[in-house]
Each structure stands twice: as C-alpha cells, then as structure tokens.
A and B are shown apart, each in its own frame.
Chain A
Amino acid sequence: MKCSIASDKFRRKFAEQIEEICGERISLCYQCGKCSAGCPVAYAMDYLPSQITRFAQLGLIDKVMKSSTIWICASCQTCSVRCPRGIDLAKVMDALRILAKRKGIVPKEQIAPLFDGIFLGSIEKYGRLNELSLITKLNMASGRPFKDVSLLPIMLKKGKIKLKPQKSNPGKEVRYLMRKVEKLESK
C-alpha cells in the first residue's frame, strides 16, 4: 500500500500537539528499536512501538490512531528507561491515546479504552473505585458478560470485593474536579 507522506507543516503540527501534551519530542527518535526489543506487550500489538513513532514522525495519523499498539501499551515504561535518545515513549503513547480520544477515533474492538471510561465513571460516582460495578459494566460493554464470573465466589469469600460501595463517598469532590478539568481543556 502506497502512503503519501503528509506535508512538513502538517507533520510539525502533529509533533507539536504530542509535545504539548506530554513534553516529548518524537523527532529525536532515530529508530534503533530498543523500545520494541524490550516491550513486554509488543507480541500483542499490530505494529512495534518504534514503528508507531516512525508513523508519527511521518504524520501518518490514521495509521497511528487505528493501530492496536497505542491501546495495548501497558505504560510499564520499560522503553522510556532504556531509550538512548531520552524519549519517554510511554508518555508519547499517553499523548497519542489522549489525541485519539479527543478526535473520537478509538477503534471499537479495543477494550482498554472502554475500561478507562468505566473506571473514570466509577470514581466520578463514588470518588473511589468500585470494583464490582467496574467488572459488571466492563463485561456488559465489551460483550463478555460471563468473563471472570467463576472468580466471583472466591473473591467474595476472601473479601477481595464487596457488594456494597464504601461508606465514605467523596464522589462529589471528584465530580467537581472533573468538571473543572473539562472546562479548562475545552478552552
């Protein structure tokens, strides 16, 4: 498949967007591949992390945003610690996910972004995470209603999850905080 590379101006703008979110400069990457070599989840990605950086350098936004790579990244920062150019690639991956969410181009089959949304919804409601509601909602949303159901009895027995949410509920505070963040970010 032929790709026409985006214009200089377009590419620079994309790189600047990334830099603005995470402070990292993708232009520094010289494609040594050390990030890809050490990535523990690369086996589950469609493109290697270094390839994503290359696509980003070339301004191939679609290829970046539609890849599974940015959603599979576990934020373990192994790449960041070892990068000879000092790029914090984990932060770049964050920035790419944030951009994808902003642009509304999140691949439907990705479960990680669903998880993120439900997780944040949970703390928006309760101020703290409610595991049981997280599991149920995620299973429903991802079309896997019976996932991990077999674990529930033992988790309940061992006191790992509770049926009732905690007494203390600082949800109001978190909601207020989230509104403020949204307002600032939409500016």
Chain B
Amino acid sequence: MARIGVFVCHCGTNISATVDVKKVAEIAKGFPGVKFATDYRYMCSEPGQDLIQKMVKEHNLTRIVVAACSPSLHEKTFRTCTQNAGLNPYFFEMANIREQCSWVHDDREEATLKAIDIVKLATAKVGKNNPLQTTFIPVEKKVLIIGGGISGIQAAIDVAFNGFKAVIVEREPSIGGRMAMFDKTFPTLDCAACILTPKMVEVNQSDLIKLYTYSEVEEVSGYVGNFKVKIRRKARLVDENKCNGCGTCWQRCPVRLPSEFDMNLGKRKAIYVPFPQAVPNVPVIDQKHCLYINKKKCGICKKVCPFEAIDYEQEDEVIEEQFGAIIVATGFTMFDHSIYGEYGYGKYKNVTTGLHFERMLNSSGPTGGKIVRPSDGKEAKKVVFIQCVGSRDEARGMPYCSRLCCMYTAKQALLLKEHNPEAEAYVFYIDIRAAGKNYEEFVERVQDEYGATYLRGRVSKIFQRNGRLMVRGCDTLSGTQIEIDADLVVLATALIARPDAIKLAQMLHIPYDQNRLFTEAHPKLAPVETVTTGVFLTGACQSPKDIPDTVATASAASVKACGLLSHEKLPIDPQIARVDVEICSGCLACKEVCPFGAIEKEEIVDRVTQQKRWVAKVAPSLCNGCGACNTACRPGAIDLDGFTEEQIFGQIESLTADKGNER
C-alpha cells in the first residue's frame, strides 16, 4: 500500500489569498493512503524541497503530491526532488491549485473546495503510479535552419563555430533576405551590404554549412534529436556544380521583367541572380517568363553558357535528411497598405513603402541612389514619411507596434537629407519608440542636426492633385491640421507574419498567436525555445525585430541547438504509449490517428497459436504521449504510461465515491 505525502504550497499569497491552504492540508490527511500532509510558504524553495525529503524519511513516504502551480513550471523540480529522496521520480504528482484554481477564482470558500478536489484527484492517481525509467535516444548532430536571412545566416555561423553541421534552406535563389535590400543600418549608418556580405561569404565557404537555396521544407517528421525532413529543391534549370556565375547568360537574355528584389522599381532578366552579391552566385531561370520554356524559342542562355550549365530538363528534387534540431528563421513580410482607401488603395504610384525607399537609397539600386518619384522618375524633393501604417491599428491592421519603423524612418529621413540637402523630410508619427542603445540620440540627431520635421499625428488622407500628392494630417502637439503637397510618400508598413506561417507551424508542431507569429515557450525565460523540444525560433518570425535583436536571438537559438547536439544521447519522457501485444488485434487503427508517425507494424509469433501475426509497435523516440492511439484502440491494448486507465479511472472514482449523487 502506497504511503502518500501531500505538500500544499502557499506560493506567497498567490494561492493562500484565495485558497485556505491549511484546510486543504488538513482535509488531505483523511484521503486514502495519505500518511502525511502539510502546508508551506514556498514548496519550490530549498527549505521546501528539504521538507519533502525529510518527511519522506520521517514518515516512510513512498509517493509525493505537491499542490502548487502548473506542472509546466515545477514538475521537473519536484520529480528531481522525489528522486533525491530515494524514490522513483514518477512516484510524484502535481496538483495545480494556482493557475487552475486560485488565480481564476475569487470566492475563497468555493476555491478551497475546488483545491481540495484537485488534491484528492492527485492522491488517487499517485497511489496507482508505476515506476518509470527514462530511456535515451541518439542525436543526429546536424541543425536545420529554415530561412537564409540575417537570422538564419548568423545561426548557421554560430552552429558551425561550435563545431556542428548546419543546413540552411532558403526559398529564394540567394541567401541574404531582407537585410540585403537595405542601404544603411541604424543607428550607426554602416552599409548593410558591407556588414552582411562577409557573413554570406563565410556561410558559403564553411565546410560545416550546406546551403539549399531556391528550396523549401516540405515535410517534417520525427522528434528532437532525430527530425526527418523532406526538402524540395526547386529546379533552377542551372547546374550549380558547373556554373561559375560569369553572367554571360543573364547579360544576353532578351526578357526584361520587374525585379522583385528592387521592389519592381528596376528590371531583371528571365535568367537572373537577384542581386550582384548573391550567394550562391548561380542564376535561376524564371520558368513563368522564359521564352524557351514557354514557347521553345530563344535558348540563348544555353547557347552562350561556356560551361554547359543550363539544363532546361532539370526537375524539382525532393531530398530527405535527418537533423538533431531545427531553427526557424523565416522572417517577416510587409503589411499590404492597399486596404487603406484613404491612402489611395495602393493606386498612387508615388505612395511607396520603406522597402521601396531603401532600394532607391541604395547606390547599386534601381535608381542609382537617387530619390525619385516612381510615376515620372523626377527627383523627389519633398518627402512625407508616415509611421504606423497597419501597425497599432486594431480596426484594419495589426494591434501591435512593429517596433523598428520609428528607427528606420528616422534613418531614411536622415539619408534623404544626405542624398539631397535641399530635400525636405516630414515624418508623421504617433509616438517615437527609440528604446535601444544609441537610438534616442539618433532620432534627436535626425531632428536637430538634419532638420527633419516631425509632426505628431496620423495621416487621414492622401490624394492626388495636379500630379502631386496631397497629404492631410495633423499635429496634435500644436492642435492644427496640416496639409502637405509632397513628391513622394513613404509608408512605414507593419511587419507581419508570412502568409504561409500557419502551414509551417503545423508542420513543426509549434504554436502561433492570433497574429500568426510563432509563439516562444516562455515570453521571458524561454524566448527562443518553442514548446516542441528541439525547435527554436529566431528573428522576426516570432515578433518584429531589428537587426541587433535578430542577431542576438539567432546566436541564442544556436547555443540552445548546440546544447542539445552536445549530448551523445537525449533522455526521452517515459510517459508514452505502450502496446500489450497479447491483446492487440493488429487492426492498426492507432497508426492512422498517430500525429507523430510513432506507430509501426511488427510481426510477432503468437504465444498461444505459435502463428505469425501483425501487431502495433510504438517507437519511443517518436511518441509524444498524446494518447490519441489510446482512445482509438478498440480492444484496449494500448495504455499510456503515467496516465494509465487504472490511474484515470482511479481519479474519477475518488471524486464520485462520496458525491456520486451530488455532482
């Protein structure tokens, strides 16, 4: 017979203010098998844990129940404590009387009754707990990094620095991401390319880093230490091994198309590298627009390529690789301002976005560094910047602050003045959020030294009159309406999740929030982890981040990933499904419902009939203990260790025994 000890935590006043903890402990003493019960101010503290160990010895306890917070916070703490007291760590149960009781109720009497029931359930379960042993799985010492922007690049460099292999999967033909599009970076004004390209080159040259550009992750299965990942390598129609990036092909290609990298302000060819410093420096054929692919005409690129690298017959290839950990670095996309009718529904050519402006500022960009009006190419002298377009707009945009627009707008206003000292910069803002090292000082410089005019208020309407843009805003500080006739309007559009974020999240079994941004395991204490062990987050796929923050999270995520990889083996939770082959009929309904692919078919020799037959087998490394198979199993051959039928029914009985008719 189990000898149970119950420890009720006050959690300061978090629990004790709403729940009568002394009463809970007192009543717990009367539950079947309970030999000792007490309350204590902080059970997770060292004296709290000492108390458990002391009482185990003193009262010869064999099972422990701690009534405190959520198991997600302290289950591990108390499992270890139970183990240190000389018991199997799974002879412990946590009764959550904080998140599920004291925090959500205010009636002390009712809350106390509920807490008593919660503790009763835990004691009923713990008495039926079996000793479980942790098992171990080997670790594949390679990290998958999804996304090749500055975030993924930094993560790869850090993983490689730690001596592990990394694979970057990038959807575009080149790594570099958004940062490659920027001109200069705030607040130091160093050139984005000058600080990014060395990193791109480093990634390209590293023996430990493999690049799959123009590729996409298609399927992820497996578990921490052993993720199996299918990657689609889209057909470039150019052989990466033969091409040396000489550029003959794209110089001779006759098809001219708007360049996505230049925000459609410039042109590219149908065979192209997105920008001169592309890594790898291998072009890709745009199959939608290539004359040969569509009309079997032209074929110039193939004719002129000195290395016979053009291969029109090339097809997509799906490869499968194994990884120990995954870093998600998929970044962001820009909010589409064309939903705002008051800003012209995206119809006015001279109403652009911050990214357009970056390309114009760039001396190797489509305008050669000149700030022009896209409508007629004439120099833009009066530029209005509008912040919070799509940000801080619950009604039609995103509710959150996009965090970096204040800074990049200030930078763009400054660069405008540097490019053309005669130009005028007007910035409509709501609040200036410049909380970063040297950020506030930078904004002040832009206002004071460069003379950008800051106006506090949101713009209500933009319209065209005689070829100029009329911007109707206001300055709430002076209490006046402001109308500015501008050459160019630059909208600081919100940073938002990529359209396919949910698809990726489902593939990786990671949660996302109402804005489709990936959710970290803990907002403060696990900011780069996810609830799926072995999957980490970096950069703007989690929330809008500037370059310093992105790089910091990239390094943090890679340390976490390398930490996992530094183990030869990883412990796996023994609370997983178990098949009783004697009962299993081999119907494999369980295999159908398992979301983790953890159930396989196995042939055994029947103990009685000595005949061969099929049964289900659980792969411990893949099983997550979700219990889906358990409920699908008709003969009742599957049980879930740690949550056995006996335990669950024991809990139900404990509650119904004395109040069968009452509830």
Contact, chains A and B (beta carbon distance below 8 A) = yes
How many of chain A's residues touch chain B, expressed as a range? 20 to 34
A38 to B458, CA, bound (A): 9
Q: Is A125 an interface residue (CB 8 A)?
A: no
Q: Is A83 an interface residue (CB 8 A)?
A: yes
Q: Is there an interface contact between A86 and B394, defined as CB atoms closer than 8 Å?
A: yes
Of the residues A31, A43, A78, contact of B460 by C-beta under 8 Å: A78
Across chains A and B, the number of contacting residue pairs, with CB separation under 8 Å, is 72
Of the residues B394, B458, B461, B476, contact of A48 by C-beta under 8 Å: B476
Q: Is B22 an interface residue (CB 8 A)?
A: no
Known contacts A38-B342, A83-B395, A33 near B461 by CB under 8 Å: no
The A-contacting residues of B in range 476-521, CB under 8 angstroms, are 476, 479-482
CB proximity of B448 to chain A, nearest CB, Å: 23
Q: Is A82 an interface residue (CB 8 A)?
A: yes
Write the chain A residue with the least CB distance to B473. Answer: A37
CB proximity of B489 to chain A, nearest CB, Å: 14
- Interfacial chain B residues near A34, Cβ < 8 Å: 457-460
Q: Is B554 an interface residue (CB 8 A)?
A: no
A37 to B460, CA, bound (A): 5
The B-contacting residues of A in range 43-73, CB under 8 angstroms, are 43, 47-48, 50-51
Q: Is there an interface contact between B395 and A33, defined as CB atoms closer than 8 Å?
A: no
How many of chain B's residues touch chain A, expressed as a range? 20 to 34
- Interfacial chain B residues near A48, Cβ < 8 Å: 474, 476, 479-481
Of the residues B397, B457, B480, B482, contact of A32 by C-beta under 8 Å: B457
A85 to B388, CA, bound (A): 13
Residue of A37, A47, A84 with most partner-chain B CB within 10 A: A37
Write the chain B residue with the least CB distance to A86. Answer: B395
Of the residues A38, A85, A86, contact of B461 by C-beta under 8 Å: A38
Q: Is there an interface contact between A36 and B476, defined as CB atoms closer than 8 Å?
A: yes
A50 to B430, CA, bound (A): 13
Interface string of B427-469 (1 = CB under 8 A from A): 0001000000000000000000000000011111100000000
- Interfacial chain A residues near B388, Cβ < 8 Å: 32, 84
- Interfacial chain A residues near B473, Cβ < 8 Å: 33, 37
- Interfacial chain B residues near A31, Cβ < 8 Å: 430, 476
CB proximity of A39 to chain B, nearest CB, Å: 7
Q: Is B472 an interface residue (CB 8 A)?
A: yes
Q: Is there an interface contact between B481 and A47, defined as CB atoms closer than 8 Å?
A: no
| Interface majority SS (helix, strand, loop, mixed), chain B | loop
Q: Is B392 an interface residue (CB 8 A)?
A: yes
Known contacts A37-B460, A84-B395, A85-B395, A32 near B430 by CB under 8 Å: yes
- Interfacial chain B residues near A33, Cβ < 8 Å: 430, 456-458, 473-476
Q: Is A114 an interface residue (CB 8 A)?
A: no
CB proximity of A154 to chain B, nearest CB, Å: 33
Q: Is there an interface contact between A84 and B457, defined as CB atoms closer than 8 Å?
A: no
A48 to B388, CA, bound (A): 21
Q: Is A10 an interface residue (CB 8 A)?
A: no
Q: Is there an interface contact between B481 and A37, defined as CB atoms closer than 8 Å?
A: yes
Residue of A32, A39, A43 with most partner-chain B CB within 10 A: A32
Residue of B456, B461, B476 with most partner-chain A CB within 10 A: B476
A51 to B481, CA, bound (A): 12
CB proximity of B409 to chain A, nearest CB, Å: 16
Q: Is A22 an interface residue (CB 8 A)?
A: no
Of the residues A32, A39, A51, A82, contact of B342 by C-beta under 8 Å: A82
- Interfacial chain B residues near A37, Cβ < 8 Å: 457-461, 472-474, 481-482
- Interfacial chain A residues near B394, Cβ < 8 Å: 84-86
Q: Is A42 an interface residue (CB 8 A)?
A: yes
Q: Is B602 an interface residue (CB 8 A)?
A: no
Interface of B toward A, CB cutoff 8 Å: 342, 388, 392-397, 430, 456-461, 472-476, 479-482
In the assembled complex, 29 residue pairs joining A and B whose CB atoms fall closer than 8 Å, in A order, are: A31-B476, A32-B392, A32-B430, A32-B457, A33-B457, A33-B473, A33-B474, A33-B476, A34-B460, A36-B474, A36-B476, A36-B481, A37-B460, A37-B473, A37-B481, A37-B482, A38-B460, A38-B461, A42-B474, A42-B481, A47-B479, A48-B479, A78-B460, A82-B342, A83-B395, A84-B392, A84-B394, A84-B458, A86-B394
- Given A33-B457, A37-B457, A38-B472, 10 further pairs, Cβ under 8 A: A33-B473, A33-B476, A34-B457, A37-B460, A37-B482, A39-B460, A43-B481, A84-B393, A84-B394, A84-B458
Interface of A toward B, CB cutoff 8 Å: 30-39, 42-43, 47-48, 50-51, 78, 82-86
Q: Which 9 A-B pairs have the closest CB atoms?
A: A38-B460, A33-B457, A37-B460, A84-B393, A34-B458, A37-B474, A33-B476, A32-B458, A36-B474
